[in-house]
Structure 1
Amino acid sequence: MDKSSKTTTMAEVAAAAGVSKMAVSLALRGSSRVSESTRLRILEVAGRMHYRPNPMVQTLMANLRATRPVEMHSAIAWVTAFDSQDGWADHWVYREYYKGAEQRAQELGYRIEPFWAFSEGMNGARLSDVLCARGIGGVIIPPVPSPATEIDLEWQHFASATIGYSFLKPKLHRAAANLDDGMTMALRHCEDAGYTRIGFVTPEDTDKRANHTWLSVYLAWQRFQPKKRVVPMLYVEEGVPIEDKLGAWLEKHRPDVIIGPNTEFVEWLPELFGLQIPEDIGYVSLSKPIKHVYSTRITGINQQDADVGSCAVDLVVAQLQRNELGLSNNPKVVLSHGVWERGSTLVESDADLEGSASEDQASVTSN
């Protein structure tokens, strides 16, 4: 047998590093129970010896952990980049991401620990030193304020993933809601309910943060509609309030339903323009709140944001278990499907709902 193809064992790594097999196991899992210097030495030896965990053993250990309480053995950094330390938590979607990440991390024996990338005196190198000194090998970047936002961590030390579409540089493994499927689902439900003039309204900054995903699906759908059914979308430039542009657009194009990410439509349409929902105009949210913050129960897409946060943890932990640190040459994207939730802002019959529900399920199954 070719010696170059021989599989390196954990015992051999332990012997070469002068530590126990338990120390190797803890170091590979990012545990704080071994010192940072020892962990780095073990990782260096494991890398030099081309050690790779046995997938059958990993599966067995995963099954064992599933049947007994897990041990909190390391933290995963939740690195935020808003103007203030808690700025990310102002949006309910990001809180749901965190909640899902926290729950999944706990199930796997980790904890989520927030760090602010822009705290006083902080830069990428210093934050990297802080994380390494704490024995933290996993990093999650939740959504950032702008696609231009950069975080200059020393990525070679970390297993990493980002959430959503807003963090673009460097390219990380990504967990996100399946936004194109969400727009497709919204359009299909509107059509099934008999709406013929379907309008789309989005702020420019939201469109950029969604990587133009909703926009591209809507424009592709319009391409195959009869001309009389095409409603020019309302694309609101950054810094301009939507309600300032909404009235003229409604008057000119007369949509019978609006699809959009801003739930404030349930207030704007009746209060500013005297349009009752759904009697005068329908409304579908592309990202409806988990809790009902309005008296009106909104119809639209529940993106199951907690599941997205959970997927980000899975991406990071999988890399840690495989001892894969640094930026990937082939970053993965994991999409989580949303679900249609019926409310009172769209007129749907039971037949419409049943037909669309079966199509939605078929879409999820085929993907």
Structure 2
Amino acid sequence: MREKITMKVVADALGVSASTVSRALKGDTRIGIETRTRIIEGAERLGYRPNPMLSVLMSARRRRDGSGEVGTVALVTDYHGTKGWREKDVCNWEYEGICRRADELGYRVEEFPMSDFGGDCEGLAGALKARGIRGVLLGFTRDRKVLSGFSISDFSVAGLSTYFREVPVDRANFHGFYNVRMAMEHLSKTGKRRIGLMVPEINNRISGYLWTGAALDWQRQIPEDDRCDPFIPDKWDDINEFAKWMKEQSPDALIVYKLPAKSWLSKIGLRVPGDVSISYLFRDREEMARWPGVDGNLQEVGAAAFDLVVEGLNTNRLGVPEHPKEVLIKGFWRDPE
């Protein structure tokens, strides 16, 4: 399939930002004539064609704010300041997608950590209004209900995954059901019969319980002798419960998120891949480089969440939606790099 030529593709090929490409193609005189010419000729050579619907939406946005300047969308977080979530690959993948889409659409993203406001929702809302920021993306947080008092009536708000899940807004998330189902089908085709899912309870909840939903639905459709109940522990260090589960269920393949499956298997005398194979629902680059598994396509999850914010801004749809929707992004199988 031929690659779709987007502004991002043109920007990467020419070594500039997507916003620079956008401005150059509009004839913005703030871009030097030599750079403008290079970008226009490069876009034509690559076969770039503008998206007419996107052009209409961007023109409407510029008419509303009157300035044509880049707007700001607030990324609200509550993860130990600005650094905690940046240490996790899963968060960085989503953030990369958010920033890429913002650049493509002519916006910028600015983080607003709740720690800067002492957890005060009114302070956050006041700061956003003072800056004229109407777009808000609810992002990385620990499992705390800190935004229960945040009034969103004046903002276009969308949620990333299940962060700040108590706020009833449109959301984008990974397609947990599809991803686990795809992994089980893939492993089954390689000859695995008893496929076990092992993920922490808290992360299963973040998936909207779609991980276990897919695993249980899979068991329903296979012979009874091949069925293997999922292992969903509340604690991440309970090797005794794991050993008991392995003895009872006897899986020949594991689909793992976060839990130290390889170490536990070694401690109970089982070899990988001799006795049990392991594949992952990837959470970091190291796993992705060394093991097979499911890439959750988290960059696209971040981009889709940002699209929901912009959709609200372009249609002036503010506050709590009457019928909140959830966009689910499908992942894909990948073997070690």
Give the structure-2-normalised TM-score: 0.75
Distance verdict in 2 for CA 1:343–1:333, change over 3 Å:
same
Q: Residue 237 of structure 2: which of 220, 238, 241 is its match?
A: 241
Structure 2 counterpart of 1:325: 318
Distance verdict in 2 for CA 1:61–1:185, change over 3 Å:
closer
Shift of 1:279: 2.1
Greater mean alpha carbon deviation, residues 211-220 or residues 137-146: 137-146
Distance verdict in 2 for CA 1:242–1:262, change over 3 Å:
farther
Q: Residue 181 of structure 1: which of 178, 181, 199 is its match?
A: 178
Tell me the secondary structure at the aligned position of residue 279 of structure 2. Answer: strand
2:143 is aligned with 1:146: yes
Distance 2:237 2:301 in 1: 29
Tell me the secondary structure at the aligned position of residue 176 of structure 1. Answer: strand
Distance 1:90 1:213 in 2: 26
Distance verdict in 2 for CA 1:174–1:124, change over 3 Å:
same
Over the residues paired in the alignment, what is the CA RMSD in angstroms? 2.7
Structure 2 counterpart of 1:254: 250
Greater mean alpha carbon deviation, residues 105-114 or residues 249-258: 249-258
Q: Which structure has the bigger radius of gyration?
A: 1
Tell me the secondary structure at the aligned position of residue 156 of structure 1. Answer: coil
2:137–2:157 Cα contact (<8 Å) kept: yes
Structure 1 unpaired stretches of 5+: 1-55, 66-70, 345-367
Distance verdict in 2 for CA 1:318–1:247, change over 3 Å:
same
2:161–2:173 Cα contact (<8 Å) kept: yes
Distance 1:279 1:167 in 2: 42
Distance 2:173 2:91 in 1: 12
1:179–1:214 Cα contact (<8 Å) kept: yes
Equivalence map 1:140-289=2 (5 Å)? 140-146=137-143, 148=145, 150-237=147-234, 239-262=235-258, 264-270=260-266, 272-289=267-284
Distance 1:61 1:223 in 2: 46
Structure 2 counterpart of 1:35: none
Q: Give CA deviations for 1:122-152 in whole Å, capped at 9, x if unaligned.
A: 4111100001101111111124322755443
Structure 2 counterpart of 1:341: 334
Distance verdict in 2 for CA 1:204–1:148, change over 3 Å:
farther
Tell me the secondary structure at the aligned position of residue 331 of structure 1. Answer: coil
Tell me the secondary structure at the aligned position of residue 160 of structure 1. Answer: strand
Equivalence map 1:112-151=2 (5 Å)? 112-119=109-116, 121-146=118-143, 148=145, 150-151=147-148
Distance 1:103 1:326 in 2: 25
2:304 is aligned with 1:311: yes
1:203–1:242 Cα contact (<8 Å) kept: no
2:90–2:283 Cα contact (<8 Å) kept: no
2:74 is aligned with 1:77: yes
Distance verdict in 2 for CA 1:285–1:214, change over 3 Å:
same
2:236–2:259 Cα contact (<8 Å) kept: no
1:284–1:299 Cα contact (<8 Å) kept: yes
Shift of 1:320: 0.8
Distance 1:84 1:61 in 2: 34
1:79–1:114 Cα contact (<8 Å) kept: yes
Structure 2 unpaired stretches of 5+: 1-51, 62-67
